[in-house]
Structure 1
Amino acid sequence: MPNTIRLPVNIDLTNCDREPIHIPGKIQSHGFLLVIDHDGYIRFESENASSYLKNVPPGLLGKHISTVEPLIGKNEPPDFINRLIIFGKVNGFEQTNPFNTDIYGQPFHLIISASANYYLLEFEPARSDSATEIHKLIGRSISEMLADKNLQNLLNNSAIQVKNVIGYDRVMVYRFAADGHGEVIAEARNPELPSWLGLHYPASDIPKQARELYKVNLTRLIADVNNQPSAILTEAGNEAPLDLTNSHLRAVSPIHIQYLKNMGVQSSFSISLIYKGELWGLIACHNYTPRFIDYRSRESAKLIGQILSSALEFRQDEENQQLQERYKSAVDQLSRLMLKDNNIEYALTGHAVTLLNAVDATGAVLVFENNITRFGTTPDNAQINSLISWIKNNVAETFFYTEKLSEKFPEAAVYRKIASGIMVTALSREMGEYVIWFKPEQLQTITWAGNPEKPVTIDTSTGMAHISPRNSFDEWSQTVTGTSVKWSNEEIKSVVRLRSEITYAINQKAGAIRLLNEKLKQAYEELDTFSFTISHDLKNPISTIKSFTQILLRDAELKPQTVKILERINNGADKMNSMINEVLDYSRINRSELAKSEIDTAPMIHDIVRDLLLIYNVDESCVHIGNTPKIQGDPVMIPQVFANIISNAIKYSSKSNPPKVTIDGSENDSEVTYTITDNGLGIDIKQLPKIFELFNRLDNVGDIEGSGVGLAIVKRIIEKHNGKIWVDSELGQGSTFNISFKK
């Protein structure tokens, strides 16, 4: 028998977020584990395998799985495990799991999953402690769960139905906050148990790496906290820890086991709730006696979680859409008023619809043309002046928001009751023009399940600090002050668009009298000089670099490493030359005279799409071209606009499966609007205000090529046509660019 070692399991922790729970070196002992490599040889086994495979020959490690297959499934065909793996690799292991087999006449489930260069073969009894056949109750339970459209009632129904299905003593719907801490927002329990509804639990109770695993494994069973886990054995020399991320038997963190024991819980089961790919919360189930649920029953329970996740997403999207429509209606009306009234300040503050309607704020301030206009509930004039001074000196961005103003600006603590949250958009930092919205303090009394601080104990023998789960879960209240309701993504998008509308109206109304125009004239003169310098002082050296690089590359005796370096120099020169040309294009736009004519966009768009599909190797079925109304514009500049926006849409969605791009136009009496939508990477909400700035590239583009100049060129061309461009996007959800042209 080969020498065996136990994988490392004793870890000293000073931070729960660093505990490597995906490599515990043990499994729960209600099943056993064999791990094979791609050739079918057993490289790991759980220590308890021999207690299930009583007649197994000694020394499984290093043996081929075929030597034990007859013991695993005496009625199975030869090589059945390899056949299952081949099928699972092609079709997904969810199509094979669980495989019904038997061991010495006892029914077992075989569950297969991948782990790096290995396959995990997990064997669990094919029976549950409950006599209820869960899968037979699922249909009725889901129907009753979805009976009410109200979100809170939906959650309450879900907790009740899950409790009816799996029979646990307590079932909770547990929602994660943005900072990682959780709250029980729905509950079903045995009548003798106290209610935990409304209790909060610190983020350290379910640390970050555990939350990530809940996104991979949508159910998690801890059958008996008192059972000793079984160590994973491997051959000497193979000491790399086994990744059990995809394992269903993965052992539980000792800290979490102690945590459950301190609660009095002996068995737990959780179902993940996912919203737009992120962990929204859990259906957390506790039992005060041990309880095992077999794989098929867990999969049935998982279905409840998946359907609830879909229902949550639908309800939340419905609410977001209603908010978005309300804000959009307000911004549209403000836009019309600004273009109609000669006084922009009065258009934004003097009608039934004001700046306040663009978000859910209780007060706002417009700082414009040396006037400060307050409406709603705001700090007083002296406090506003002090706040504006702080913004000028400390906020460099064109867009800023916080729900904890006094943490960043301590002077604001005196008026936190009316202005704990602010959102600021700069109309002109140079001229000190801003719009500021306010949200009041929302006093919160948070009831924690025990003191949320994780206590630290000192090992007297080693002097090392260890994190220890708390022993008391007595309610512990905390009052949160100086914090407002959070600014929602819909509010942020609304303000980004409103700023664009205000800037557009200012540019239409202000004329040459504004200081901004004088600065622009100076900037254009400097840009002309800069363009001349680039053309004459930079392009020639770049040509010289390329020429000498190409000459050197002709030398057949160069070492491969030298060739590689020279090729990188050559590519870098090409990239620099391309960027110089783009900057030159950018500088020429405002100096070029418009030659407007009617443009038939249909053939232009089809030509652009056809070329781009070839470049990015995307199937033509992925791009849908809808209405293409004609527009008035410069026939040289307008194709640049569409080519850039459509190119970005195809390029950034090319890695989606499948990519989807839609181009559609609409018109009314005054304007033509084109909408280009993709399902690509999307844009972080914090970066939306900077999307049209020169040389601005997003953090999530990775190795996708680009210079950060294209959208700046597009915006200049659109502004030269007295048009408008705006974007609506969320990270990971794609982008929608809107371009409107006057008739």
Structure 2
Amino acid sequence: MNEFFDAEKTQVDLTNCDREPIHLLGRIQPFGFLVAASADWVVSHVSLNVDEFLSFNADAMVGEPLKNFLPQRSLHAIRNRLQTISNSDGRERLRNVSIDDSDRLFDVSIHVTDDSATTVMEFEPARLDESSEEELLLVRGALPRLARHDTVEGLARDGARYLQFMSGFDRVMVYQFLPDGSGEVIAEARQSRLEPFLGLRYPATDIPQQARALYLKQTLRLIADVGEDGVAIHPPRGTDGQPIDLSSSVLRSVSPIHLEYLRNMGVQASMSVSIIINGKLWGLFACHHEAPLVIDHIKRGVAEMFGELFSMMLASRLNHDERKADKEVQRLTNSFSATVSPDEDPIAGISPTLERFSSLLDAQGFAIVIDQNRQTFGESPTDIELDQIIRFLNRSAASKIFASSHMSGLFPEAKSFSDRVAGMLAIPISRRPRDYIIFFRREVLKEVTWAGNPEKPVEVGPNGIRLTPRKSFEAWQDEQRGHSEIWRSAHLRIAEQLRMVMLEVVLRLTDEVARERKIAQERQELLIAELNHRVRNILSLVKGIISQSRGTDLSLNDYIEILDTRIQSLARAHDQITQHNWTAASLQRMIEIEAASYLGDGHERIRLEGEDCLLEPQAFATLALVVHELTTNSAKYGALSASAGYVKVKTSWENDGTFTIDWLERGGPAVQAPKRRGFGSTIVERSIPYELKGKASIDYELSGLHAAFTLPARHVARPKDEARPSPSRSNKRKPSSDSDPLPKRFLVAEDNLILAMELEDILLANGAESVDVAANLSDGKAIAGGSELDFAILDVNLGSATSFPIAEILAERGIPFGFATGYGEELTVPKNLGKRCCIAKPYDRDSIHGFIRDVIETKQAQSD
């Protein structure tokens, strides 16, 4: 933005950016190219870098049929996909599209401009690996962890950590828009070398209104390199004299003022993912990187999907809080309506309940204004000051709630008492005369920490005053006076519910019976309409929950907990299979691990008798779920629910090569057959016959459940003659003590998101000050070489590479480290690294603590 202003005639601030047409810049970012075509598929616009990808230049393509430049099959696929554009963002995507006779493949984003006159196609080089399914599994694996949070802060914190892990950005922030339009960083995941931005406040002008509108329309925005000015589109203007509208473009270039803004922050690449609640922009995931970074088409799609799922979870969290407040409001309003009598003074009748509402609204005082009667309670203005407030309110709409945390900024009279009463929430309870209930909040003197001085967005140069981004992002503290705490949306919701009840109460207390009946009928119709609307919303929510629960009668939390335990069971099964390079694994070992994971010290109550077998991977996963459901049900309802109860698991090989399993419960309560079959029962009864073509039977004997299974020979094998390790062998260490000192600054190199986050939580909960997580070799080497570290835990396998190069850097710096692996403690490492300690997965707090101690003791012994 290169606009100059007359210092005497123009007030200059960042709101001038609202007038910059950021969707009509006529340029794109160069990591792809753009082709636009008219309704009859004639090329209307082309980015000037098209000759880097096609054997044609832009000038030769404009005005010619698109079929002259793209293969027929690709053009056919694009036109077919246009028929399916129906989602909210109006975009479609194609993967692995050929643009010529070479082997090059491209991912394509397609959208139609708002006037439906132009089809815009944006091509990016396709990613050749097949890890998209793995990234989607990461999202699914993160959902149960996110769902367990009961606060917005916890949900935002883990959301930022996940997005940083998946995207590879140095910093990911959750940025929430506040009611006054400013924004605050409420959660942050960052490399430890970066200065924290957590808690910083940004003025509303930092994100102009038109940019916020585009965040609603296009929920993901990538800026791959702030050093690139962009590639121009040819021709610059269409036949209508206007640049092409790039509102929905994924390659759309960036405003010069925003590029300068990011450079001033030391950012070379950024990405934002919208957080949208009830159709409104609640906030953003803001991602920063210190070097240029192109996030490919697939990973952006996964990040965009995660943003949508996160928004749904956040909405659910906020709705839960609202419902909790609604119950309390309902309790108050029920007693309110029942106790107010027409025969008593109306103010005396309603003031006790309003005192409780005042506490619910975090107000320090309130006033009741009915006809000519006025009374104040708690910390409130004087009678003269209250008259000034009422005169101001009478200028506003009669039926709307009015809220302000800065009254002195609205009318000058309020400045004289803003040190006592700074904020108000006014609820109109009638039209004529103007009657109100007004809640007040005291002044809160506080220092707001801004990202740079928000009052200095301009600087003076040789050409006069020029609008520029701030060049200082150091924390700038601003003492706010005359402000109260901000009224949140939850408070406004409570006020609206109170308004509805007060309308009924005031109408019931009026002296004019005829007018009372007429107005009561009108208000009743309004209340019924609003109630019907709310009931329909509630029914829609219930319908969604029922649909997602697939007919179960579980609560959402129970469903998430059950889903989480089932996923954990599969995870344990997967770990056991991968320990043997995806070959057959021990059934008895699996049962022991499941028992230890679910029953803890009571795992010996599941007694194994008979021969073992090795299960092929497909059968292993199926049996893991069956054993998990049997264990869970027994612990809840069967033998394991009683202190003397136990389970006997008898196994044997048959002459035809099949393998039989008998699950026999004894010592528990009397058994009764269930009246209905749930999802768990279906798994036990049908998964082995359906998936493995075996046999399954369940007898609900009075003395205890008896389940029998037969596994076909093709899914089982006899074990080799070797000792089967106990479930805890690989992590068996000397007991750790809480007094053992724990290093403060950690590096964790781990390519599994859930394991990385769990390990990070263990370390932080036990005294670590910072934990840098690296998901790949490149990030790990950068952190190992450039960050202050006291200890490192390195997963041996990082995707397609090993962590040995990271270990070599750490060894040169003298930083203690050890390896984590799913292959047991016996690990062969390069000779130059010497003998190193290793911990086997899965692990817990005690094993991690003992592992760290072993590494440090080994290093000290080697030094001695």
* Counterpart position of 2:228: 227
Paired amino acid for 1:504: L
The 1-side partners of 2:529 and 2:380 are apart by 45
Paired amino acid for 2:301: E
- Structure 2 portions without partners, runs of 5+: 6-11, 543-864
For the structure 1 residues 139 and 428, does the alpha-carbon distance in structure 2 shift closer, same or farther, using more than 3 Å as the test? closer
1:420-472 deviations in whole A, cap 9, x for unaligned? 122345667987865432222223321111111353356756x6x54211111
Match of 2:492 among 477, 489, 492: 489
Answer whether contact 1:185 1:197 (CA < 8 A) is retained. Answer: yes
For the structure 1 residues 435 and 79, does the alpha-carbon distance in structure 2 shift closer, same or farther, using more than 3 Å as the test? closer
Identity in percent: 32
Task: Output the TM-score relative to the length of structure 1.
Answer: 0.62
For the residue of structure 1 that corresponds to 2:272, the secondary structure is: strand
Deviation of residue 293 (structure 1)?
1.0
The 2-side partners of 1:386 and 1:235 are apart by 60
Q: Does 1:291 align with 2:289?
A: no
The 2-side partners of 1:207 and 1:320 are apart by 30
Paired amino acid for 2:496: K
Question: What are the equivalent positions in structure 2 for 1:540-559 lying under 5 Å apart?
Answer: none
1:131-166 deviations in whole A, cap 9, x for unaligned? 996445322233333332322111100011111111
For the residue of structure 2 that corresponds to 1:240, the secondary structure is: coil
* Counterpart position of 1:444: 446
Answer whether contact 2:47 2:234 (CA < 8 A) is retained. Answer: yes
Question: What are the equivalent positions in structure 2 for 1:280-429 lying under 5 Å apart?
Answer: 280-339=282-341, 342-349=344-351, 356=358, 359-367=361-369, 372-379=374-381, 383-388=382-387, 391-392=390-391, 395-396=394-395, 398=398, 400-425=402-427
* Counterpart position of 1:732: none
Question: What are the equivalent positions in structure 2 for 1:636-655 lying under 5 Å apart?
Answer: none
Answer whether contact 2:47 2:231 (CA < 8 A) is retained. Answer: yes
The 2-side partners of 1:236 and 1:435 are apart by 57
The 2-side partners of 1:18 and 1:339 are apart by 57
The 2-side partners of 1:448 and 1:50 are apart by 46
Paired amino acid for 2:473: F
Q: Does 1:84 align with 2:83?
A: no
Paired amino acid for 2:26: G
Deviation of residue 369 (structure 1)?
7.5
1:476-522 deviations in whole A, cap 9, x for unaligned? 11111212234432133134224313312322xx468xxxx9xx89x
1:556-605 deviations in whole A, cap 9, x for unaligned? xxxxxxxxxxxxxxxxxxxxxxxxxxxxxxxxx979xxxxxxxxxxxxxx
Answer whether contact 1:176 1:280 (CA < 8 A) is retained. Answer: yes
* Counterpart position of 1:456: 458
* Counterpart position of 2:243: 241
For the structure 1 residues 332 and 42, does the alpha-carbon distance in structure 2 shift closer, same or farther, using more than 3 Å as the test? same
For the structure 1 residues 127 and 443, does the alpha-carbon distance in structure 2 shift closer, same or farther, using more than 3 Å as the test? farther
* Counterpart position of 1:114: 112
For the residue of structure 2 that corresponds to 1:59, the secondary structure is: helix
Answer whether contact 1:403 1:484 (CA < 8 A) is retained. Answer: yes
Deviation of residue 194 (structure 1)?
1.1
For the structure 1 residues 490 and 432, does the alpha-carbon distance in structure 2 shift closer, same or farther, using more than 3 Å as the test? closer
Match of 1:500 among 500, 503, 520: 503
* Counterpart position of 1:127: 127
The 2-side partners of 1:455 and 1:352 are apart by 45
For the structure 1 residues 367 and 279, does the alpha-carbon distance in structure 2 shift closer, same or farther, using more than 3 Å as the test? closer
For the structure 1 residues 496 and 254, does the alpha-carbon distance in structure 2 shift closer, same or farther, using more than 3 Å as the test? same
Deviation of residue 192 (structure 1)?
0.8
The 2-side partners of 1:57 and 1:420 are apart by 61
For the residue of structure 2 that corresponds to 1:88, the secondary structure is: coil
Answer whether contact 2:445 2:483 (CA < 8 A) is retained. Answer: yes
Task: Output the TM-score relative to the length of structure 2.
Answer: 0.54
For the residue of structure 2 that corresponds to 1:316, the secondary structure is: helix
The 1-side partners of 2:410 and 2:427 are apart by 17
The 2-side partners of 1:233 and 1:346 are apart by 74
Deviation of residue 287 (structure 1)?
0.7
Paired amino acid for 2:98: D
Paired amino acid for 1:497: M
Answer whether contact 1:183 1:198 (CA < 8 A) is retained. Answer: yes
Answer whether contact 1:93 1:112 (CA < 8 A) is retained. Answer: no
The 1-side partners of 2:365 and 2:457 are apart by 43
The 2-side partners of 1:96 and 1:511 are apart by 62
The 2-side partners of 1:280 and 1:486 are apart by 16
Deviation of residue 374 (structure 1)?
3.6
The 1-side partners of 2:243 and 2:352 are apart by 68
The 1-side partners of 2:369 and 2:73 are apart by 80
- Structure 1 portions without partners, runs of 5+: 1-8, 71-75, 522-588, 592-632, 663-743
1:385-427 deviations in whole A, cap 9, x for unaligned? 4422552476245464432223345454454344212234566
Deviation of residue 82 (structure 1)?
5.3
Answer whether contact 1:31 1:123 (CA < 8 A) is retained. Answer: yes
* Counterpart position of 1:555: none
For the structure 1 residues 139 and 647, does the alpha-carbon distance in structure 2 shift closer, same or farther, using more than 3 Å as the test? closer
The 1-side partners of 2:394 and 2:194 are apart by 52
Answer whether contact 1:358 1:495 (CA < 8 A) is retained. Answer: no
For the residue of structure 2 that corresponds to 1:271, the secondary structure is: strand
Deviation of residue 49 (structure 1)?
0.3
* Counterpart position of 2:150: 149
Answer whether contact 2:336 2:353 (CA < 8 A) is retained. Answer: no
For the structure 1 residues 236 and 496, does the alpha-carbon distance in structure 2 shift closer, same or farther, using more than 3 Å as the test? closer
For the structure 1 residues 337 and 359, does the alpha-carbon distance in structure 2 shift closer, same or farther, using more than 3 Å as the test? farther
* Counterpart position of 2:38: 37
Paired amino acid for 1:122: E
* Counterpart position of 1:98: 94
For the residue of structure 1 that corresponds to 2:22, the secondary structure is: coil
The 2-side partners of 1:342 and 1:308 are apart by 51
Paired amino acid for 1:105: D
For the structure 1 residues 89 and 173, does the alpha-carbon distance in structure 2 shift closer, same or farther, using more than 3 Å as the test? closer
The 2-side partners of 1:150 and 1:438 are apart by 27
The 2-side partners of 1:78 and 1:405 are apart by 61
1:346-368 deviations in whole A, cap 9, x for unaligned? 32235796663674422123355
Answer whether contact 1:61 1:235 (CA < 8 A) is retained. Answer: no
* Counterpart position of 1:279: 281
Answer whether contact 1:359 1:494 (CA < 8 A) is retained. Answer: no
- How many pairs are equivalent? 518
For the structure 1 residues 58 and 18, does the alpha-carbon distance in structure 2 shift closer, same or farther, using more than 3 Å as the test? closer
Paired amino acid for 1:474: E
Answer whether contact 2:269 2:293 (CA < 8 A) is retained. Answer: yes
1:283-307 deviations in whole A, cap 9, x for unaligned? 1111101111111110101111111
Answer whether contact 1:269 1:285 (CA < 8 A) is retained. Answer: yes
For the structure 1 residues 129 and 413, does the alpha-carbon distance in structure 2 shift closer, same or farther, using more than 3 Å as the test? farther
Paired amino acid for 1:451: N
The 2-side partners of 1:501 and 1:57 are apart by 69
For the structure 1 residues 327 and 79, does the alpha-carbon distance in structure 2 shift closer, same or farther, using more than 3 Å as the test? closer
The 1-side partners of 2:476 and 2:440 are apart by 31
Answer whether contact 1:327 1:359 (CA < 8 A) is retained. Answer: no
The 2-side partners of 1:352 and 1:433 are apart by 15
Deviation of residue 26 (structure 1)?
0.5
* Counterpart position of 2:271: 269
Q: RMSD between aligned alpha carbons?
A: 4.0
The 2-side partners of 1:498 and 1:90 are apart by 42
The 2-side partners of 1:641 and 1:337 are apart by 20
The 2-side partners of 1:52 and 1:393 are apart by 64
For the residue of structure 2 that corresponds to 1:482, the secondary structure is: coil
The 1-side partners of 2:279 and 2:444 are apart by 30
Deviation of residue 56 (structure 1)?
6.2
Q: Does 1:475 align with 2:472?
A: no
Answer whether contact 2:392 2:411 (CA < 8 A) is retained. Answer: no
